[in-house]
């Protein structure tokens, strides 16, 4: 039997849309794993809200990807029928939930980036992306507020929570460099006014984080090197397991409608 994966030509624009879509889907997937297992029922609901926002963003973006691709693929083809190396998400979002501190740190680092990103994307020459950014920015601003307030409480809570928060920050920091990596695709689309220049966001990102980390009494880690590879499809080992769950039914019953 032929493969159940889709094949498509990946233009720069399509690649960029898939980066944003895959980030949202994979992080939404991770957060949805919390549902039913959070520290208090209020937080089950809060994390599910963030996950729903993210999967919602992913759906809009995959829908646009399908439009850009133009051969009749759907959001689900992009979400479910690609091979691991075709996923364009950054390494940060695929990291396991760990304890609540790791989940919160991952969220703060990512949301602080995306909030800036969406805000700039609102003025994109690409009207569809600008419209999606307008909606996503409001959602992301709240994600940052929620996770930021939690990080302050964990960092400045008990000795135990402080240590967990600092450990999570130390461990996840190495995945933040990738957020600002401007390859030819990012650079090209930034130059043509379609997408923000990610390289230019790093300074603002540090400024966004600084007061949160200060209030949380956390130290910015000294990372001698950064990890990257997600944007070009070289992921961590975790992604295989995420996709095994995510794609299981679509791959087992490729002809089925759900």
Residues 32-61 that bind another protein (CB under 8 A): 32-33, 35-46, 48-49, 51-52, 55-56, 58-59
Nearer to another protein, 17 or 195 (CB): 17
Q: Cβ of residue 74: shortest distance to another protein, in angstroms?
A: 9
Name the residue nearer to another protein (CB basis): 151 or 209.
151
Q: Residue length, the chain?
A: 258
DSSP secondary structure string for all residues of 153-203: HHHTS-HHHHHHHHHHHHHHGGGSGGGG---HHHHHHHHTTSS--GGGGHH
CB 52 within 8 A of CB 44: no
Half-sphere exposure of 15 (CA within 13 A, CB side): 16
Tell me which stretch binds another protein (CB under 8 A): 11-19, 73-81, 175-183, 187-195.
73-81
Q: Do 96 and 30 form a contact (C-beta atoms < 8 A)? A: yes
Q: Find the binding residues for another protein in span 128-167 (CB under 8 A).
A: 145-146, 149, 152-154, 156-158, 160-161, 164
Local structure of residue 75 (DSSP, 8 states): H
Nearer to another protein, 172 or 185 (CB): 172
Run of H or E including 152: helix 127-155
Pick 10 or 43: Cβ nearer another protein: 43
- Asked if 214 touches another protein (CB under 8 A), the answer is no
Contact status: 62 vs another protein (CB under 8 A): yes
Among all chains, which residue has been given the structure tokens 């889709």?
A: 6
- How many other CB atoms are there within 10 angstroms of residue 244's CB atom? 11
Q: List interacting residues with another protein (CB under 8 A).
A: 25, 29, 32-33, 35-46, 48-49, 51-52, 55-56, 58-59, 62, 75-76, 79-80, 99-100, 145-146, 149, 152-154, 156-158, 160-161, 164, 242, 245-246, 248-250, 253, 255-258
């Amino acid at each position: 039997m032929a493969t159940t994966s889709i094949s498509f030509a990946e233009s720069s624009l399509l690649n960029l849309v898939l980066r944003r879509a895959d980030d949202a889907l994979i992080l939404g997937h991770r957060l949805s794993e919390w549902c039913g297992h959070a520290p208090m029922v209020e937080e089950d609901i809060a994390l599910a809200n963030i996950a729903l926002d993210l999967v919602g963003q992913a759906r809009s973006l995959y829908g646009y990807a399908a439009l850009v691709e133009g051969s009749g693929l759907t959001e689900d083809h992009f979400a479910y029928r690609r091979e691991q190396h075709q996923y364009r998400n950054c390494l940060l979002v695929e990291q396991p939930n760990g304890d609540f501190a790791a989940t919160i740190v991952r969220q703060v680092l990512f949301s602080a980036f995306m909030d800036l990103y969406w805000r700039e994307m609102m003025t994109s020459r690409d009207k569809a992306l600008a419209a999606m950014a307008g909606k996503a920015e409001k959602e992301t601003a709240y994600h940052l507020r929620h996770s930021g307030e939690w990080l302050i409480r964990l960092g400045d809570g008990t000795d135990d929570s402080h240590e967990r928060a600092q450990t999570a920050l130390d461990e996840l920091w190495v995945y933040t460099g990738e957020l600002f990596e401007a390859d030819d695709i990012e650079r090209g689309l930034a130059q043509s006014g379609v997408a923000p220049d990610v390289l230019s966001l790093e300074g603002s990102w540090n400024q966004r984080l600084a007061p949160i980390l200060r209030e949380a009494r956390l130290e910015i880690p000294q990372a001698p090197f950064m990890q990257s590879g997600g944007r070009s499809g070289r992921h961590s080992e975790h992604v295989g397991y995420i996709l095994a769950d995510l794609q299981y039914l679509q791959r087992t019953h490729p002809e089925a409608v759900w």
